[in-house]
Structure 1
Amino acid sequence: MVRIIYINISLMNECLKLKRFIEKSLDNRIKWQPAHFMPEHRAMLNRITIDDKKQKKPQLDEHEFEEIGYIVMESLKCTIPIKVTIWKDGFFMFRTGIVDKVDMLMKYLLLESNGELLRISIHEITAVERI
């Protein structure tokens, strides 16, 4: 058992020495920027960077759904401005305004913001807060 521990420690030391050597040698090399010869290549790289920035949609529990419903209905009845957080295609967006209409059959709400009516799907809403 003592020999196994000794071997593992010596292997770890050798790996650390090798890692330091590689990092040191890479710092001395010239780093070249990749060439973008084809438009498809540039589009693919742009798509990859956008996909890396995307976030997963948060899963809301029953209590959060109740809280969202309560604040939305309060804004509808009392014309209180709210801030709605929307998740769409991996990104979060924020909209502020007053709820004008809630349609539970079609599952959307109309938010009046700066004189415009914004149609927001209920499935896209991740958070709602009073302003």
Structure 2
Amino acid sequence: MAIRDRGKIKWQPASFIPLAFEMQRAMFKDQERQPKPLINDYQAEEFDQRICYAMENSFVVNLTLWDDGFTKNISGHVHYVDTITHQIRIELQSGKFERIEFRNVIGVTVVDA
């Protein structure tokens, strides 16, 4: 008596499992998102003063940035502040620069060395 097996048809429902895991990871990541904190004019002015102070004295600056619902920290020397494009150019390492927009900055700390 021969075994009558469905062959590949029985494994077809399992083909979506990697996609389901990917969708589940994206869902959990979306749940961890935070709304952007509101920065008033006084805090923005204080951030500007700290950045100028650090740039004049060549101190390291720790910037807290808001990026699409998540915060990240960047530290380095402020190289240039562009008031026309509203960007800060910060030197992370020797010769490695990154441009940051003013509207993404939610915290500034100056490290006095």
Asked if 1:56 corresponds to 2:42, the answer is: no
- Structure 1: 5+ residue stretches without partners: 1-34
Which residue number corresponds to residue 55 of structure 2?
A: 76
TM-score between the two structures when normalised by the length of structure 2: 0.79
**3-state SS of 1:127 partner:** strand
Compare the two structures and name the one with the higher strand fraction. 2
Greater RCO between the two (CA within 8 Å, min separation 6)?
Answer: 2
Q: Which residue of 1 aligns with 2:9?
A: none
TM-score w.r.t. length of structure 1: 0.69
Distance 2:15 2:33 in 1: 24
Runs of 4+ in 1 over 2 A off after TM superposition: 35-40
Report the Cα offset of residue 40 of structure 1: 2.4
| 2:78 corresponds to 1:99 | yes
- Counterpart secondary structure, 2:34: coil
Counterpart mapping for 1:4-43 below 5 A: 37-43=16-22
**5+ residue gaps in structure 2?**
1-13
Q: CA RMSD in A?
A: 1.6
Radius of gyration: which is bigger? 1
Query: Deviation string for 1:79-117 (max 9, x for gaps)?
Result: 111100000011111011110000111111111112111
- Which residue identity lines up with residue 109 of structure 2 in the other structure? E
Higher normalized helix content (fraction of residues): 1
